[in-house]
Amino acid sequence: MNMSRTISSVLFLLVMAAIAAVGIVYLRSYSGTEVKPAVSTSAAADIVMYRQDDEKWASEKLGGSEYTMKSSGCLVSCIASALTMQGAEQTPGTLNRIFSENNVYDSEGNILWDKIDAFDFHFARVYDDVSSEDIDKCLSDGDYPIVKVRRNGNGSFHYVLIAGTENGEYVCMDPLEDELMLLSDYGDTVYSVRCVGIEKISADTESNTLN
């Protein structure tokens, strides 16, 4: 009897520990991480600003999902901006059609990041944690980190592209704004980090675009 109780107690403790671990991960992702640039990185001279609700693509669906570019196309718009500034010109509309035709979206319109890696000369990095070090490294490499934030710091989740730093602040391209924003406009709090760009290849090798 005592042995059975001991085993039951151990199993109970293991289950509770597992639940606690999952809870910590969930709370960390839900509460976000406050970040500030540790190094200065000049913003791109010509930041490409795309709006997800541009009438040219606003009504287009994300793959086979019910979601449209206007309602949920912030991430695609950020990726299009990043690629265009690196020389692989894409509008959110053309990129959305490419993603849709190549099954880059799941049924809910979420991007399947490993699918982007399948395109020649392009990469997608999904960071496990949020840190200013990773964001700064991405910028110093000539890439543009895309971060998940909350609108106005406490509203709905949203994606913006970090284009550099200015006066100790991250400068952002927001697909729902007509002017550049600062990460402090979102409380300097980030919930996840992505980085999509062009693989660095030799100058005599022709660079493909996402098509």
What is the tens place of the pLDDT at every residue in 26-55?
A: 444 467 999 999 888 777 668 999 999 999
Mean pLDDT to the nearest integer, 74-85: 95
Q: How confident is the model at residue 115 (pLDDT cuts 50, 70, 90)?
A: confident
Sorting pLDDT into bands at 50, 70 and 90, what band is 5?
Answer: low
On the question of pLDDT at 211 being above 60, the answer is: no
Q: Is the pLDDT of residue 84 over 60?
A: yes
pLDDT tens column, 101-113: 999 999 999 999 8
Return the higher-pLDDT residue of 120 and 89: 89
User: Is residue 140 within 8 Å of residue 41, measured between CB atoms?
Assistant: yes
Average pLDDT, the chain: 83
Q: What pLDDT is stored for residue 93 in this prediction?
A: 97
pTM of this prediction?
0.79
Q: C-alpha angle with apex 171: 175 to 118, nearest 5 degrees?
A: 60
**Regarding predicted confidence, which is higher, 120 or 27?**
120
Please choose, from the candidates 134, 112, 151, 143, the residue with its C-alpha nearest in 3D space to the C-alpha of residue 193: 134
8 Å CB contact between 77 and 89:
no
Provide CATH code, domain 33-198.
3.90.70.10
Output the pLDDT for position 169.
94
Instruction: State CA 119 to chain mean position distance.
Output: 18
Q: How confident is the model at residue 154 (pLDDT cuts 50, 70, 90)?
A: confident
Enumerate residues 6+ apart whose C-beta is below 8 A from 174. Answer: 74, 158, 160, 181
- Identify which of 166, 169, 164 has the alpha carbon closest to the alpha carbon of residue 43: 164
pLDDT in tens, 174-191: 999 999 999 999 999 999
